[in-house]
Amino acid sequence: MKLYMTPGSCSTGIHILLEELDLVFEAHLVNLMAGDHTTPEYLAINPKATIPTLVRNDGGALTEFQAIAYWLARSHPKAKLLPGDPDGDAQAIELMAYAVGTIHGQGFARIFTTDKFAVNAADFDTVKTQGQGIVNQAFAVVNAMLPPQGYALGAFSIADAALFYVEFWADKTGIPLPDNCLAHYRLMLTRPVVRRVLMEEGYRVA
């Protein structure tokens, strides 16, 4: 398989899941700043021009974090990356979707790609402030969903991988995490696979 990824991005969560499953794959780096995601070669693989993209052994490409994570979990049921019951699986998908769609897609997107939300440079600060407000409010919602200790749903799941990458962004941008989110983030940092992935992607792990 081939994972098209950018170090420190949302693709880090998928990188973690692939390593958790001990799957053999090639990592192809996509330099977003250089516009690699808009080249004809990449658009032929993923017309959405997004990351991550996972090209499977049969040559078919999967895009969108939630779809890739769900496929990995369902394709390798013995790893128990989903709780396995309807309620638990729904909770995992709910948390994953909120982390990716709201914290990332509405909050951090305004902070990292401000120009996509504001036409005039004079509005950039306002948009970034809006983004930080969305992130803070969303983390407060997640905080109420999380246990004070342990993984999001008791055992490690695809939801933890999604939540980790936005917690990682909060840490790197100086946005304080509420208590349960901070405990979850610190727990994830003790997981050997997470530490290995971060080091492989060029980050120093304390």
Q: Which residues are catalytic?
A: 9
CA 20 to chain CA centroid, Å, is 15
Whether the CB-CB separation of 18 and 174 falls below 8 Å is answered with no
Q: Please give the backbone phi and psi of residue 153, each rounded to the nearest 5 degrees, phi first.
A: -120, 25
Q: What would the DSSP string read from start to end of 107-141?
A: IIHHHH-GGGT-SSGGGHHHHHHHHHHHHHHHHHH
Residue 26's beta-bridge partner residues? 2
